[in-house]
Structure 1
Amino acid sequence: MENHKEKQEIFDKYAKSREFEDWNDLKNCCIEFDIDIDEYIFDACDLVQAEQQERIAESTKMKYHDGVSKVDHHLTYFQSGADNIQIDKDTITNPENFIK
């Protein structure tokens, strides 16, 4: 996430998925009807975290046996020569990585 605006957009997207106009609409509804907003906050934060994990997975650098490091968006894992070093991008985006 590069800035607060992107996070706000994800919060707004989450609110829309819950049939609100945007995050402020959801927040105001919770205030008006005395509803605990914590669950909504945690769910929206999970979406931010998922987006961050996707970006990390897409920009993971893999060090090749010749010492060159580069980003390879097409591989889900990489084996480096005889060292058998692997990076499995799916482990980065695994939902079990979410802080609960």
Structure 2
Amino acid sequence: MLKISSKVLNYVQGKDLCFVVDIEKIPINCDCCNTILKTPITKSLLETEVQDKELYDTYEYKGIKVFVLKDLKIVGDMNVYQKAKIPFTEPRFGIKGIIAQ
């Protein structure tokens, strides 16, 4: 089940925005190991800016679409929320209930 917080709904409604949940790959290199840390990231985009829509599963909540990369695993209810706002910057968003494998 998908939920979007009221603060996020107020921000995106009327702007024709959607959310894209993708994987951010962070390389970790140290003396003992070399690995890549995978973490889900959430971006707000215009729906026309979403490329390769066939790579994503699409969910919708109150007219707002959320595109989730098929490589991500849904482990519970998905909840889109707004992260703490830093003055003079665009809002940042996160999603709970999804992990990168």
TM-score by length of 2: 0.20
Higher share in helix: 1
The higher-RCO structure (CA 8 Å, 6+ apart) is 2
Greater Rg over alpha carbons, structure: 1
Q: Between Structure 1 and Structure 2, which shows a larger proportion of strand residues? A: 2
